[in-house]
Amino acid sequence: EPEVTQTPSHQVTQMGQEVILRCVPISNHLYFYWYRQILGQKVEFLVSFYNNEISEKSEIFDDQFSVERPDGSNFTLKIRSTKLEDSAMYFCASTYSRDEQYFGPGTRLTVT
Amino acid sequence: QQQVKQSPQSLIVQKGGISIINCAYENTAFDYFPWYQQFPGKGPALLIAIRPDVSEKKEGRFTISFNKSAKQFSLHIMDSQPGDSATYFCASRRGSQGNLIFGKGTKLSVKP
C-alpha cells in the first residue's frame, strides 16, 4: 500500500539554525499539507500546497517558514531560523481529492 | 468559529465494551468529518469519515454518528479491544483547500 514517507525521523538543531524537513507524498496525490503537533497537544495545520503554490496557510506559518516541491516527488518544509518553540512533531500529509488525507510518520524536531 | 471541541480527554473501557468519543463544531461551513487514530510515535491514521448529508456511517467495529442540527458527531467503537488503545482525534474540514482542524484528542485505554 502506498504511504507518505518523511525524513529525517528526528532532527536536533540549535536555535537560529535553518532546518529542512523532507516528505515524499503518495505519487498520484495532488494536495499536500504540513501539520505540526507539539508534544501532548492537538495536531495543528500549517500550510496547504496545490498546483505548485501555497493555497492556504495558518497564522503559525510566518515568514520563517517556506515550502517547496523541488521535483515531482519531494515536498519540503524549511524553517529559516529555528526557535525553541518550533520543537514539535511535523507531519506531512497528502491527498488526491482533498478528502482522505494520508499522514506520514512525522519528523521530531528538537531545537536546543 | 474554527474550533472543534472533543471529549472526553481520556477514556478507560473494559475489553468488549463500547467506547464513545464526542466532538462538537461551530462552523456550519465544515463539510467533512474524519476520525484519526494515532499510536505513540506514529502519524495520525485515517479511521473513518462522514459527510453532513449522512447521519451514520459504519465500518466494521467503528461507527460515526452525525447530528447536523446539533453540530455534533461521535465515534463509537464496538467490542473494544486492547489493540484499540490509542489517541483518537476528530477533525473537521472547511471546503476548498481541505486543511483539517483537529480536536484535542482522546486517549483511549482498553483494559483486558
> Which structural domain range is residue A40 located in?
5-111
A55: which chain B residues are within 8 Å (Cβ-Cβ)?
A: 96-97
What are the domain boundaries of chain B?
Answer: 4-92
Into how many domains does chain A fold?
A: 1
Residues B23 and B74 sit within 8 Å (Cβ to Cβ) = yes
Which CATH number describes the domain made up of B4-92? 2.60.40.10
A4: which 3 cell numbers? 507518505
Q: H-helix or E-strand containing A40?
A: none
Distance CA A84, CA A39 (A): 13
Interchain CB contact of B52 with A (< 8 Å): no
pLDDT in tens, B12-52: 999 999 999 999 999 888 889 999 999 988 899 999 999 99
Residue of B nearest to A106 (CA): B43
Pick the residue from chain A with its C-alpha nearest to B98: A98
Contact A42 B105 (CB under 8 A): yes
Query: What does the alpha-carbon distance between residue B100 and residue A50 come to, in Å, rounded to a whole number?
Result: 15
A91 touches chain B (CB under 8 A): yes
Distance CA A92, CA A87 (A): 16
- How far B87 CA sits from the closest chain A CA (Å)? 10
At A38-93, the pLDDT tens digits run 988 889 999 999 999 999 999 999 999 999 998 878 999 999 999 999 999 999 99
Any idea what the CATH number is for the domain that residue A18 is in?
2.60.40.10
- What's phi and psi for A107, nearest 5 deg? -120, 125
